[in-house]
Amino acid sequence: MRLRALEKMCDQQLARGHRDSALAAGLAAVACDPLRESAHRRLALIHMSEGNLAEALRQYHLYRELARSELGLPPSSQFRRLVAPLLGTACRTGPPEWASGRPAG
């Protein structure tokens, strides 16, 4: 429940434009469960909304390596679509979520 509450708080704070509070909630969620991809996606989204594209990519790569080493899994297609414009790869399913201004799910 704590993780869901932190993620909801992150989304609400980002929607209100309170990026510092959103970042704090996202970081707390990642600290609680480092393998929770949705928390990492939220952090990447916050960085993208601030124009910190290198930081968003760093967050993606950090999660990608963690998921690979701990679980043997790649990031979800949702996370890959989110950062596709930053990686220079084509996004066949339309614009990334951050382009709409909505928090990532």
Tens digit of pLDDT for each residue in 9-67?
A: 999 999 999 999 999 999 999 999 999 999 999 999 999 999 999 999 999 999 999 99
Whether residue 104 has pLDDT greater than 70: no
pLDDT of residue 103: 52
Q: What is the Cα–Cα distance from 78 to 17, expressed in whole angstroms?
A: 23
Among candidate residues 79, 81, 86, 77, the one with its CA nearest the CA of residue 63:
79
Q: Token digits for 77?
A: 């297609």
pLDDT of residue 22: 97
How confident is the model over 61-102, as pLDDT tens digits?
A: 999 999 999 999 999 999 999 999 998 754 444 445 544 455
Q: What is the Cα–Cα distance from 72 to 91, expressed in whole angstroms?
A: 24
Q: What is the Cα–Cα distance from 55 to 63, expressed in whole angstroms?
A: 12
